[in-house]
Amino acid sequence: MDFQAHFSARLGALKDEGNYRIFADITRRRGAFPTAGCEGVGDVTVWCSNDYLGMSQHPQVVGAMIEAVEACGTGAGGTRNISGNTMHHLALEAELADLHGKEGALLFTSGYVSNWASLSTLGSQIPNVAIFSDEKNHASMIEGIRHSRADKVLWRHNDWRDLDRKLHAAGDRPKLVAFESVYSMDGDIAPLREIVEVCEAHGALSYIDEVHAVGMYGPRGGGVSEELGLAHRIDLIEGTLGKAFGVVGGYVTGSAALCDFIRSFASGFIFTTALPPAVAAAAKASIMHLKGSASERRLQRARVAELRAKLDRAGIPHMPNDSHIIPVMIGDPVKCRMISDILMRDHGIYVQPINYPTVPKGTERLRITPGPLHGSAEIDHLVNALSQLWAHCALSRAVA
């Protein structure tokens, strides 16, 4: 087989379909967010970051990382079973357990790894378990379930009645229900209360991914489960340190036995180098700040409401939801890429196109995430630029 020809042909097909991914060369500057430098363009305003609250720029977070680097150096030195725990890892896990009202927490190197390792471990180590997965769960959850080789049952997205029927049909075998709180591409929020009640009725282990919700919802940033007063009724809460908390890493929280079980059997934890102590210190500082400060969340929600209202007045179609994620629908991969390029080149606006396979074909979009550091003038500039491009590309406008 001519491997290089195969690689080139597949890449060429991606480009012809408009689904080839081009990464922008972005230089983030401390204290300037959401402004960043872009190679060949100059300064741009970033509208698609998952640094939802700008906490990567917060002086306390930056200071905690610098202080820990100066005290501990840059790396952890290996896996925790070889190099041991540091005070920073243990302190962060205690902070995360407290955030979600759980007995324990366990750190991973990313949210992807925490989902993959935890679900693959639970699925492979609980005898005869069936995993019931929302059909729109993240790729990390899908991969973890697949790797576990446990029986998988898909239930219709956010349809707790369908989940109830399928759990009932499974009989008395062990059951695990995996779902998200905020779904990252559509921005919809799951009916948590109903899902939790269904899990309890069937004795199923409940597993929620709060990656796009931690830091953003609840009086202390514990996610949608905290906002609804349901965290104590969910067995495992998974989250990330790399989005609203502004650092990097993933974690799970739950009972002491559950966290120790995953720690003891998950290859994705056992054989992976631990997070650098400085990262753990910065994450702890971010979580502690957001536990006591609601101002970032309030301002972020105000910016979301302002942008949605102005998009409506301009007739720019965006998917309705109750979250902080605003999907502006385009429905064509080539136009989606073109609009993104023109926004960057001519208007100094960076918003990455979202195409297949991240979203289904025909639902291509710009995924916009306003934050507390965006201003009204920047929102007006974005809406005016989109309005010009809507006319230029002959796209349909929303009807008020």
* CB < 8 Å & 24+ apart, contacts of 73-76: 73/277, 74/276, 74/278, 75/273, 75/276, 76/273, 76/274, 76/275, 76/276, 76/277
Q: Strand pairing partners for 329?
A: 365
Question: Among 102, 136, 166, 243, which one carries the catalytic annotation?
Answer: 243
Give the pairing type, strands 365-368 and 326-329. Answer: antiparallel
Phi, psi (deg, nearest 5) at residue 385:
-65, -45
What is the C-alpha to C-alpha distance for residues 24 and 4, in angstroms, rounded to an integer? 26
Sheet of strand 104-108, all strands in order from the earlier edge strand to the far edge: 104-108, 250-254, 236-240, 205-209, 175-180, 130-134, 151-155
Give start and end residues of each alpha helix (H) in the chain. Answer: 3-17, 59-72, 80-83, 87-100, 111-125, 139-148, 160-169, 192-201, 224-227, 256-265, 267-270, 277-292, 295-314, 333-347, 376-392
What is the C-alpha to C-alpha distance for residues 183 and 110, in angstroms, rounded to an integer? 18
Q: What was the pLDDT predicted at 152?
A: 98
What is the C-alpha to C-alpha distance for residues 291 and 220, in angstroms, rounded to an integer? 4
Say which residues have a Cβ less than 8 Å from residue 217's Cβ, sequence separation at least 6: 181, 182, 223, 224, 226, 227, 297
Residue 251 in tokens: 């974690």
Q: What was the pLDDT predicted at 357?
A: 86
Q: Which of 23, 28, 21, 25 shows the shortest CA–CA distance to 41? A: 25
Q: What was the pLDDT predicted at 394?
A: 66
Summarised one tens digit per residue, pLDDT across range 54-93 is 999 999 999 999 999 999 999 999 999 999 999 999 999 9
Q: Do 341 and 41 form a contact (C-beta atoms < 8 A)?
A: no
Q: Strand pairing partners for 366?
A: 328, 353
Say which residues have a Cβ less than 8 Å from residue 333's Cβ, sequence separation at least 6: 17, 18, 19, 353, 355, 356, 361, 364
Q: What was the pLDDT predicted at 398?
A: 66
Place of tokens 């998009």: 311
Q: How far is CA 302 from CA 297, 317, 320, in A?
A: 9, 19, 16
- Is residue 243 among the annotated active site residues? yes
Q: Strand pairing partners for 206?
A: 177
Q: What was the pLDDT predicted at 300?
A: 97
pLDDT, block means (10 residues), the chain with 400 residues = 96 89 90 92 96 97 98 95 93 98 98 98 98 97 97 98 98 98 96 98 98 98 98 98 98 98 97 97 98 97 98 94 96 90 95 90 95 97 94 68
Question: Residue type at 61?
Answer: V
Q: What was the pLDDT predicted at 400?
A: 55
Q: What was the pLDDT predicted at 399?
A: 58
What is the C-alpha to C-alpha distance for residues 182 and 230, in angstroms, rounded to an integer? 15
Q: What was the pLDDT predicted at 18?
A: 82
Q: Is the omega angle on the peptide bond into residue 174 within 30 degrees of 0, that is, cis?
A: no
